[in-house]
Amino acid sequence: MIIDIHGHYTTAPAGLAAYRRRQLEQVDSPTKGTIDVTDDEIKETIENGQLRQQRERGTDIALFSPRAGGMEHHVGNALVSRYWSETCNELIHRVCTLFPASFIGVCQLPQSPGVSPANCRDELERCVAQLGFVACNLNPDPSGGYWTDPPMTDRYWYPLYEKMVELDVPAMIHVSSSCNPNFHATGAHYLNGDLSVFMQCIVNPQLFKDFPTLRFVIPHGGGAVPYHWGRYRGIALEMGRPELTDFLMDNIYFDTCVYHQPGIETLFRSVPIDNIIFASEMIGAVRGKDPKTGRFFDDTKPYIDNIDFLSEVDRQKLFEDNARRVYPRVDRLLSGSATE
Amino acid sequence: MIIDIHGHYTTAPAGLAAYRRRQLEQVDSPTKGTIDVTDDEIKETIENGQLRQQRERGTDIALFSPRAGGMEHHVGNALVSRYWSETCNELIHRVCTLFPASFIGVCQLPQSPGVSPANCRDELERCVAQLGFVACNLNPDPSGGYWTDPPMTDRYWYPLYEKMVELDVPAMIHVSSSCNPNFHATGAHYLNGDLSVFMQCIVNPQLFKDFPTLRFVIPHGGGAVPYHWGRYRGIALEMGRPELTDFLMDNIYFDTCVYHQPGIETLFRSVPIDNIIFASEMIGAVRGKDPKTGRFFDDTKPYIDNIDFLSEVDRQKLFEDNARRVYPRVDRLLSGSATE
C-alpha cells in the first residue's frame, strides 16, 4: 500500500472562493454562513484532479487537507479564522466521505496572530472525534511572513500540544501565504518555516521532554535540513546537544516533497529511514511537467524508485509503515477499527 | 591555487568588542571614536586562528570580512552603523596589510533599516578604491529577522547596485544576527536569507536585465536552493521564466559552505560548475569537529575531494578560476596589477 501524507484540496470548486469573498466582505461582523458546493462538483474536481493522478501514479490513499496557502490565518480576527477553518474542514470531510477509500482528512486550525493556540483545541477535537480526521496542519507563523508569534517550542503553544497528545495526532508544520514581499510563498516562506521550526527544536529541547509523544512532520523534505544535516549536527553538538538522531527522531519526521533526483537522494542519505514518510504534495506548489523527463515535478515516486540503496524493508517503511506509526489513526482507519 | 571566498574575522581581539560596548553606551549621540587593538594582537588571533587552519587545510588565500553576526545593522541609527562599519572594515584592512599573501578584504556596509542603500555607496567606494577590497557583504534584512525592507530586486536597492557595477565588485548576500526569537541566526536566519533572495530573483527577473553585470554570491551553499533545484525549476517554469540556467547564471553564484558529504554532492549535481565557488566560512558558524570523521565540519575540501564526478578542469574552476572571474579585483590583485 502507498500512502501519500501530504495533499491539499487545491482544486476546490468555485463555491469555496465565493464563500471566502462573502466572508471578507463582512470581515468585521463575521457569521459562519453557508457554502454552495454540490457533491457533483466535488466529485468532478477530485476525479479529474487528485484521484486521477493518484491512479496514474499508483498511490492508494492520500492524507488530505485544505489548501495551505488559503488558510490565511492573518486575515480578520479569530472568529473569521474559526468560521473559515470549520468550512474548509467540512469540505474536506465531504471529500473523504465521497471517496473513503482514497482520502483521509487532515484539518486546518483556526489560528490567529497573537491569539492563544488554546483557541484551536475545540476544532481539532471536532475534526478528529466527529469527522474522523487523523492530524492537523499547524502554522508556525499565523502573521503570514512577519513571524510575530513565539517559537513553537514556547509554552504559548502547549495548550494545543496537550490536545494533540491526548488525541494522538501529529501536526504537519505548514505555513500559509506570505504577506511579506520578501518571501514568495511556495519558493521561500514554506521552506523558511520548515527549517526554522526544526532549528527551534534544537534550541529548546525541553519541548519534547515535556511532550515525549508529540510529533511534528516537517514537509517539503524538511526545507533545507537534510541538505545541511552536517551544519545542524555541528551546531547542535556545539550547543551541547546529543546527535540529532539521539534526541529528535522520536518526534520529528520529514516528507519526501523534493522534486529532483539529487535532492531526494540527499534526504535519504542524511535522515534515518524511520523518519521519512512518502508524500508528493500533489496537486500543489509545482504543477507542471519537467521538460527534461516528461514527468510531473511532484511525481516523487519515480525519484525514489531510482534510488539504488533503499531495501525492500526501507520502502515498506517509507510508503506505508511509517505513516501508520506516526499517524496511529490512519492505521486504525485502514484496519477497520476506527470506531473503537 | 586555492581561494576561499568566505571568511569572517570571528576571532577579532577583545578591543573590537570593547569599542562596540562604548559605541552602544553612546548610541544616541554617536561619535566614531578609536579602537584599541595592536598589530601584535591581530597577528596572534590570525596566526593561531584562520591562518593556521588555512595552512593545515591547504588554502592559499581567503576573502575576509567582518563578522557577519556582528554587523547588527538594526542597532542604533545609520550613523552608528556607519562608524561601526568603518571601524570593522579598517580592522580587516589591517589584517590584509599584515598578511597580504593570505587575506583579501571584503567590506561590511553601513546599512540601516528603512535607510536608502544609497547611504552605503561612499563606504563601498572607500573600501574598494582606498583599502583594496574586492567585494561587499550585503544584508537583505537590516532589521535583523523582521524583513521590513523591500526585496533585493526592488529599485530601492538600485543606487547601491549602480556603485557595485561601476566598481565591478560582487556582493555576498549575507544576513546578520536575528532579533526574532523564531529564527536562530546561523541555523535558520542565514539559510532563510539565502533562499529567499534567490527566489526574489526568480520573481523579478528585471533586476539582472537592468544590471546585466551585477553579481550576487549566495553563501551557505545557497541555503536550500540546490536541494530544491527541481522545485525552483518547476516554480520558475510555471511563472513563465526560462530554465534557471538560462536566466540567472550570469548573475548568481553559490559557495560551498555545506558541511556533509551528501549535501555538498547535491550542490555539485544540481548547479553548473561555473556557478560554484570554493569556500568554508572558517572560522564561523560551525567550529567543532565531526566526531564521526575527526575532521572539522567546516573543512569543506575533503568532501569535495571525495566527489568522483568532478574533473580536473572542474576543480580548477571551483578552487581558483571562478573566484577570479566573479571577483575581477581578486584576479588583478593576484596578477600584481591592482594599482592599474
* Pairing mode of beta strands B252-255, A252-255: unpaired
Rounded-to-integer distance, Cα B169 and Cα B216, Å? 10
Provide the grid cell at A82.
474559526
Distance from CA of A141 to the nearest CA of B (A): 9
Chain B interface mutation, best of A266, A298, A303, highest count of B Cβ atoms under 10 Å: A266
Cβ atoms of B1 and B320 closer than 8 Å: yes
Q: What is the pLDDT of residue A336?
A: 84
Q: What is the pLDDT of residue B337?
A: 66
Taking Cα atoms as reference points, which of A331, A263, A332, A247 lies closest to residue A298? A263
Distance from CA of B338 to the nearest CA of A (A): 36
> Sign (positive/negative) of CA torsion A133, A137, A138, A142?
negative
Mean pLDDT by 10 residues, chain A (340 residues): 98 98 94 97 98 97 98 97 98 98 98 98 98 98 98 98 98 98 98 98 98 98 98 98 97 98 98 98 95 97 98 98 98 77
Q: What is the pLDDT along chain B (340 residues), one digit of tens a residue?
A: 999 999 999 999 999 999 999 999 999 999 999 999 999 999 999 999 999 999 999 999 999 999 999 999 999 999 999 999 999 999 999 999 999 999 999 999 999 999 999 999 999 999 999 999 999 999 999 999 999 999 999 999 999 999 999 999 999 999 999 999 999 999 999 999 999 999 999 999 999 999 999 999 999 999 999 999 999 999 999 999 999 999 999 999 999 999 999 999 999 999 999 999 999 999 998 999 999 999 999 999 999 999 999 999 999 999 999 999 999 999 999 998 644 4
User: Scanning every residue of chain B, which has its alpha carbon at the shortest distance from the alpha carbon of A192?
Assistant: B192
Distance from CA of A152 to the nearest CA of B (A): 8
Rounded-to-integer distance, Cα A61 and Cα A135, Å? 15
Q: Which residues of A fall within a CB distance of 8 Å from B202?
A: 184, 187
Rounded-to-integer distance, Cα B123 and Cα B73, Å? 14
Instruction: For residue B145, give every residue at least 6 positions away whose Cβ sits within 8 Å of its Cβ, in sequence order, or none.
Output: A147, B178, B179, B180, B182, B183, B189
A-B CB pairs within 8 A amount to 218
